[in-house]
Amino acid sequence: MSLFVFIGHDVADSADNRKAQRAAHLARLEALDSENRLLIAGPTPIAHGDSAMSGSVVIAEFDSLEAAQAWADEEPYLRGGVYSHVDIKPFVHVLPKSE
């Protein structure tokens, strides 16, 4: 397994649609977490304390870039129009050191 970072980019005025898709989005992340494949996940607000979001970041383990892409293609925020697109890149965990 290898780590990949997913950077989802919200469309403008995504707040209402984000709320509508949130339960399905979180369910997929919780599934990764229950499989011990999720390193970190969270939204990227436009500014700290702001409720408007610019996107999200997820770092998780997948067998390949193709598997990571297939997972991203099914993302409710992407399919539901919250994200305009998702960038996926290989990720190397350096710090903090894991056991």
**pLDDT tens digits along 43-76:** 999 999 888 999 999 999 999 999 999 999 999 9
Q: What is the rounded average pLDDT of the residues 8-21?
A: 96
CB-neighbour burial class of residue 62 (10 A; exposed 0-12, middle 13-18, buried 19+): buried
pTM given for the model: 0.94
Tokens of 32: 């990764």
Q: What is the rounded average pLDDT of the residues 25-40?
A: 98
